[in-house]
Amino acid sequence: MDVQRYISSGVIENHVTGLLSETESREVMAAIQQHPEIRAAADAIQQDMERYIEMWAKKPPAALKRQLMERLNKDDVEEAIPVVEEQAATFAEVESFSSNGSMSLQLSPLKMWQYGAIAASVLLLVSTTLNIVAYSNADNYKTRNTTLEAGQVELTAERDAFKEQLDHTQKENSLMKDPAFKWVKMLGVGKHSGAVATICWNPESKETFVLAQVLPEPPEGKQYQLWAIVNGKLIDAGIFERDSAKALQKVKNVEKAQVFAVTLENKGGSQTPTLDQMFVAGKVAG
């Protein structure tokens, strides 16, 4: 601490004349305890102040002393029953004085202690109550927050799903409207009559989609695969799901096709088609 600067800051003068708040005064007292120079400065100001006070001295009316001595005697008799309040007051004053050693006291320690104690009790009670309320509220809020968060995650996921679905539907819509796409209806082959699937193929962009309308559920480990047939050769056009959420499932691009056919293959698809497992087939028009 820069002691000289502290001394010339004016804080000691303000302390001695009682201008500082309790907290500020306590800080000054601590500084007085720590630094002899600050103590000396504070003592000097204190003495100046006391000289000023003494200048205003005035002899009280003579009757006062007699009255006081009478009260004192009465007080002595009553001293067997200690006046707790008064003792608290003087104690507070002495405490304040002794921790301080200077003139600047906190105002009316008795009242302050009393009011302070009452206020503190009330505040404590209020605070405790509020804490309990706040705690249980906080607990409620926490639970609610968790629930809401979970709900929000759910909603977000749902919204994303809907959005994806919507996007897809819109895409499907545009596909269906797009005159460049050729629609090839594939009907059941042999014993699979009644099965239906439709191809949506753009010969220019080569984009290909399959619509699995009626296909029997594949056995465990099996999957449907699409083939494009050009001049009797079957070219893999990719695998697809029987019960996709999407109506039109995108498959591999198809360069050329005269006929589309769907076979049942092992899961993951095959290099070469299992021809006796052909379910549907359809000829590309034109």
Scored b (16 or more CB within 10 A) or e, 161-182 reads: eeeeeeeeeeebeebeeeeebe
Residue closer to other proteins by CB (options 118, 161) is 118
Give the shortest CB-25-to-other proteins separation in angstroms: 12
Tell which residue, 154, 204, 158, has the closest CA to residue 179: 204
H-type alpha helices, the chain: 3-8, 11-16, 22-34, 36-55, 63-78, 84-98, 109-177
Give the shortest CB-33-to-other proteins separation in angstroms: 11
Token pair for 180 = 């460049």
Residue closer to other proteins by CB (options 69, 275) is 69
Residue closer to other proteins by CB (options 60, 179) is 60
Token pair for 123 = 């505040």
Give the shortest CB-126-to-other proteins separation in angstroms: 24
Give the shortest CB-108-to-other proteins separation in angstroms: 4
**Pairing of the two strands 196-201 and 208-214:** antiparallel
* Pairwise CA distance, residues 56 & 269, whole Å: 112
User: CA-based Rg of the chain, rounded to a whole angstrom?
Assistant: 49
Give the shortest CB-125-to-other proteins separation in angstroms: 26
Give the shortest CB-37-to-other proteins separation in angstroms: 17
DSSP 233: E
**Contacting residues toward other proteins, per CB under 8 A:** 10-11, 13-14, 16-21, 44-46, 48-61, 64-65, 67-69, 71-72, 75-76, 83, 86-87, 89-91, 93-103, 105, 107-111
**Pairing of the two strands 222-230 and 208-214:** unpaired
* Pairwise CA distance, residues 172 & 175, whole Å: 5
Residue closer to other proteins by CB (options 6, 183) is 6
Coil, helix or strand at residue 263? strand
Residue closer to other proteins by CB (options 68, 150) is 68
Residue closer to other proteins by CB (options 17, 213) is 17
* Pairwise CA distance, residues 173 & 248, whole Å: 10
Give the shortest CB-51-to-other proteins separation in angstroms: 6
Token pair for 65 = 């002393």
Beta strand extents in 189-232 (DSSP E only): 196-201, 208-214, 222-230
Residue closer to other proteins by CB (options 95, 160) is 95
Residue closer to other proteins by CB (options 51, 177) is 51
With beta carbons less than 8 A apart as the criterion, state whether 151 and 143 touch: no
